[in-house]
């Protein structure tokens, strides 16, 4: 139990929201341990035997009875699942409830990547996600998690919301999980209590308005805007709905709820309509504090079509022609739907159907990663990339070798190890049929190509 008390001003705020009697229940529950939850990567087909307690609003989410040592589970390094707070997984229920049109999506404040990987799974092969993070170090973490998830439908960018101005009306769905005062994290992160103040709430609200002033125009006609925070107060939640609907034309969206979930619906009445938000309180829901709302762009709003760039030019990217792209897909036993680009002599592949959208994005945004990096070609040989190993793309033509748990951990630590009888050349290391990365057997020694910066140090 934390020794850090709740700030007095926060208690006053919560009493006005809940009433004194319910606030006491809230206060008791916020001192209880938080439950650990994970969301499986359906595309990798892995279901651990310890995932037994489903999260009711998520088809792939599970509560865990206790928190294992995730670092020492090779499956998490293979992108088989993501450790995500249960309340955030409600986004999956929203997408399915509104039958969100698949296409071009934007996660504007995406790091570390929990919500981006959820959107990526929803889109599958039927869309492209721009996962953006303004802070460069966090954009690197976002890239790593996107690579591990492996679906090849994510473009990682590192931009301020202001940079998206030329892409107004471009996106079928925009998600903004806004930087906030973090009241919903008071149970998981008691230090957040010390950082909280009414002035900090005001500062966060101002920052959110600046972000949403840019984000509100990015949604195309009939598209959706999802806004969320991990906080309880009205200023960062309901008042942001009022701000958005005063600045932009949006229609309300109401999401069906099962009463047993304990999620509380809130109404925001404006001159135009009644809008809806959904608040997660720890004393009512098995999850942390969370708020989310969904708005729909009217059908007469602006639509920015990607157009077709006849002669694609970029400072560092080189487009590979359609004929050569098809030849490369054929050479790698892929399905022929790929469009290739070169960056620093390495080949990247995205679905050809989304290349026009990608090329438009690349003209305006700072790219950190996109699609699947396949590796480099030297004469007739491929030097496969770690990104290809972790992707869901086939790796035909390569030897695969299934590792024991001990061997997998040695591989992930980049320790030296022997694999007697392995053929000379490249081999894909797997654990429980999940690709982990490459080794190259030179005969007299084995080179481990697991990325040095990703290796695990925990014994």
Q: What does the pLDDT look like over 426-445, one tens digit per residue? A: 999 999 999 999 999 999 89
pLDDT value at 3 more than 60: no
Residue 308: per-residue pLDDT: 81
Mean pLDDT of 43-62: 91
Residue 2: is its pLDDT beyond 70?
no
Residue 226 has pLDDT above 80, yes or no: yes
At 56-80, the pLDDT tens digits run: 999 999 999 988 899 999 999 999 9
pLDDT value at residue 382: 87
230: annotated active-site residue: yes
Does pTM top 0.85 for this prediction? yes
The answer on pLDDT for 146 being more than 90 is yes
pLDDT range class, residue 1, cuts 50, 70, 90: very low
Of the candidates 230, 285, 328, 372, the residue annotated as catalytic is 230
The pLDDT confidence band at residue 155, using thresholds 50, 70 and 90, is: very high
State the Cα–Cα distance between residues 107 and 192, nearest whole angstrom.
Answer: 24
Report the 3 state secondary structure along the chain: CCCCCCCHHHHHHHHHHHCHHHHHHHHHHCCCCCCCEEEECHHHCCCCCCCCEECCCCCCEEECCCCCCHHHCHHHHCCCEEECCHHHHHHHHHHHHCCCCCCEEEECCCCCCHHHHHHHHHHHHHCEEEEECCCHHHHHHHHHHHHHHCCCCEEEECCCHHHHHHHCCCEEEEEEECCCCCHHHCCCCCHHHHHCCHHHHHHHHHHHHHHHHHHCCCEEEEEEEEEEECCCCCCCCHHHHHHHHHHCCCEECCCCCCHHHCCEEEEEECCCCEEEEEEECCCCCCCCCEEEEEEECCCCCCCCCCCCCCCCCCCCCEECCHHHHHHHHHHCCCCCCEEEEEECCEEEEEEHHHHHHHHHHHCCCCEEEECEEEEEEECCEEEECHHHHHCCCCCCCCEEEECCHHHHHHHHHCCCCCCCCCCCEEEEEEECCEEEEEEEECCCCEEECCCHHHCCCCC
> Closest Cα partner for 368 from 156, 223, 209?
156
Q: Do the strands 338-343 and 61-63 form a parallel or antiparallel pair, or are they unpaired?
A: unpaired
At 102-140, the pLDDT tens digits run 999 999 999 999 999 999 999 999 999 999 999 999 999
Confidence class for position 380, pLDDT limits 50, 70, 90: confident
The first and second tokens of residue 297, run together, are: 């762009």
CATH class of 398-459: alpha beta
* Percent of the chain scoring above 70 in pLDDT: 99
Contact assessment for residue 329 and residue 129, using Cβ atoms and an 8 Å cutoff: no
What percentage of the chain has pLDDT greater than the value 90? Answer: 88
User: What pLDDT score was predicted for residue 100?
Assistant: 98
- Mean pLDDT of the residues in the chain: 95
Question: How high is the pLDDT of residue 49?
Answer: 83
Q: What value does the mean pLDDT take over residues 243-256?
A: 97
pLDDT at position 416: 85
Out of 1-5, 86-90, 245-249, 269-273, least confident range: 1-5
Confidence of residue 213 (pLDDT cuts 50, 70, 90): very high
Q: For 259-314, how does the pLDDT look when each residue is reduced to its tens digit (9 = 90+)? A: 999 999 999 999 989 999 999 999 999 999 999 999 999 999 999 999 888 889 99
Compute the average pLDDT of residues 379-387: 90
Per-residue model confidence as pLDDT tens digits over 360-376: 999 999 999 999 999 99
């Amino acid at each position: 139990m934390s020794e850090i008390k709740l700030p007095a001003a926060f208690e006053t705020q919560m009493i006005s929201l809940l009433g004194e009697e319910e606030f006491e229940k809230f206060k008791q529950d916020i001192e209880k341990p938080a439950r650990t939850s994970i969301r499986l990567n359906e595309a990798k087909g892995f279901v651990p035997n310890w995932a037994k307690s489903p999260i009711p609003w998520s088809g792939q989410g599970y509560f865990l009875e206790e928190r294992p040592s995730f670092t020492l589970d090779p499956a998490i390094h293979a992108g088989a699942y993501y450790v995500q707070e249960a309340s955030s997984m409600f986004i999956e229920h929203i997408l399915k409830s509104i039958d969100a049109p698949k296409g071009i999506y934007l996660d504007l404040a995406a790091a570390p990547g929990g919500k981006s990987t959820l959107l990526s799974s929803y889109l599958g092969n039927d869309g492209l996600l721009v996962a953006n993070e303004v802070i460069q170090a966090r954009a690197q973490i976002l890239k790593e998690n996107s690579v591990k998830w492996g679906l090849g439908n994510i473009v990682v960018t590192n931009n301020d919301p202001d940079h998206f101005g030329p892409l107004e009306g471009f996106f079928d769905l925009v998600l903004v999980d806004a930087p906030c005062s973090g009241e919903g994290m008071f149970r998981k992160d008691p230090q957040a209590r010390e950082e909280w103040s009414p002035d900090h709430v005001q500062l966060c609200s101002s920052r959110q308005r600046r972000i949403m002033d840019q984000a509100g125009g990015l949604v195309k006609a009939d598209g959706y805007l999802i806004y969320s925070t991990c906080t309880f107060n009205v200023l960062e939640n309901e008042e942001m709905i009022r701000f958005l609907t005063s600045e932009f034309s949006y229609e309300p969206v109401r999401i069906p709820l099962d009463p047993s979930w304990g999620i509380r619906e809130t109404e925001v009445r404006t001159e135009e309509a009644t809008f809806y938000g959904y608040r997660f309180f720890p004393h009512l829901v098995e999850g942390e504090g969370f708020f989310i709302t969904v708005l729909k762009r009217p059908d007469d709003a602006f639509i920015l079509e990607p157009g077709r760039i006849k002669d694609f030019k970029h400072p560092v990217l080189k487009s590979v022609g359609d004929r050569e792209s098809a030849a490369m897909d054929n050479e790698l036993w892929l399905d022929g739907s790929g469009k290739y680009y070169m960056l620093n002599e390495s080949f990247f592949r995205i679905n050809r159907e989304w290349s026009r959208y990608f090329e438009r994005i690349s003209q305006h945004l700072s790219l950190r990663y996109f699609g699947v990096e396949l590796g480099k070609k030297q004469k007739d040989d491929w030097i496969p990339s770690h990104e290809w190993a972790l992707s869901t793309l086939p790796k035909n033509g390569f030897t695969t070798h299934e590792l024991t748990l001990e061997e997998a951990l040695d591989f992930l630590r980049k320790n030296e190890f022997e694999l007697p009888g392995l053929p000379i050349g490249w081999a894909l290391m797997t654990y429980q049929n999940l690709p982990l990365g490459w080794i190259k057997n030179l005969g007299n020694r084995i080179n481990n190509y697991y990325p040095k910066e990703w290796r695990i140090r925990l014994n």
